């Protein structure tokens, strides 16, 4: 409504062979509108942060839950090389320890 704008973040991982992991869609809502949630494909992951931008705890939760589950379901051979940008939300000690 009006000139107000919200930020959303979309995080997508894919394999070299072209398999696409269900994306993480981050919204700045405590409770996203039902119509919005209903319009998303069922395998997409809905996340939230105050700003709609990626945060370390949200990224950690996605990797340790949704990404890990997708890797297991798709029988991807480990170890996995995960290339990410240098954003500070992607570089946390808990995540580094989990991935090791």
In tens, the pLDDT along 26-55 reads 988 888 888 988 999 999 999 988 888 899
Q: What is the pLDDT of residue 84?
A: 84
CA triple 54-57-58, angle to 5 deg: 50
Of 14-18, 20-24, 38-42, 81-85, the range with the lowest mean pLDDT is 81-85
In tens, the pLDDT along 68-81 reads 999 999 999 989 99
Pairing between strand 45-48 and 24-27? parallel
- Secondary structure of residue 48 in the 3-state scheme: strand
- Secondary structure of residue 24 in the 3-state scheme: strand
Q: What is the pLDDT of residue 1?
A: 53
- pTM of the entire predicted model: 0.84
């Amino acid at each position: 409504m009006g000139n107000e704008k919200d930020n959303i973040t979309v995080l997508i991982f894919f394999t070299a062979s072209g398999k696409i992991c269900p994306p993480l869609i981050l919204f700045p809502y405590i409770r996203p509108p039902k119509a919005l949630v209903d319009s998303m494909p069922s395998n997409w992951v809905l996340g939230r942060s105050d700003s709609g931008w990626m945060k370390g705890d949200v990224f950690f939760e996605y990797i340790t839950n949704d990404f890990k589950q997708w890797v297991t379901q798709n029988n991807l051979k480990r170890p996995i090389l995960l290339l990410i940008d240098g954003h500070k939300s992607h570089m946390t000690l808990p995540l580094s320890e989990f991935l090791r």
